Amino acid sequence: MNFRLLLEWDEQCGILLSKMYPLMDGIENALREKNYGTSISSVGAIMICRARDFKQRKRYKKEHKDFAYDIMLDYYLIKNVELEQKKAIIRKQMIITTEQTFSIYKFEDFNKAIFLKDFKEIVNTVVW
């Protein structure tokens, strides 16, 4: 599966953008060799950590088998804690948002349960 993780990031949250790359690369590389069915061939997630409100976007293009969604992080919560707590909050919010977003959709041939299990395991074990 082609999984891309992009960032809309305000470094004032206390984590430099460059420090996020190992997390992004680890998730993308771990999911690259996985196959969850034919309904989705590409997933794009935009992780947003900014000091203003955004509305979550999500979109599934059936004809292209593309799914895209936003992971909205709590900027102020992340900004006001120590680095290890920041990482724990980011991991937790990534998993919760992904689970909630995928629970809304029903795909003909996509094993959501296995994808979500793998995603959770990968996010929690990637070293960054």
The pLDDT tens digits for 17-32 are 999 999 999 999 999 9
For residue 56, give the nearest of 101, 110, 116 by alpha carbon: 101
User: Is 97 a member of any domain?
Assistant: yes
User: Is 94 a member of any domain?
Assistant: yes
User: Is 128 a member of any domain?
Assistant: no
User: Is 92 a member of any domain?
Assistant: yes
Provide the domain limits for residue 83. 2-123
Residue 54: pLDDT over 90: no
Backbone angles phi, psi at 72, to 5 degrees: -90, 115
Backbone angles phi, psi at 38, to 5 degrees: -100, -10
CB 50 within 8 A of CB 15: no
Helix, strand and coil content of the chain, in percent to the nearest 5, comes to 45, 20, 30
For residue 102, give the nearest of 53, 30, 37, 48 by alpha carbon: 37
Tally the domains of the chain.
Answer: 1
pLDDT tens digit sequence for 77-91: 999 999 999 999 999
User: Is 29 a member of any domain?
Assistant: yes
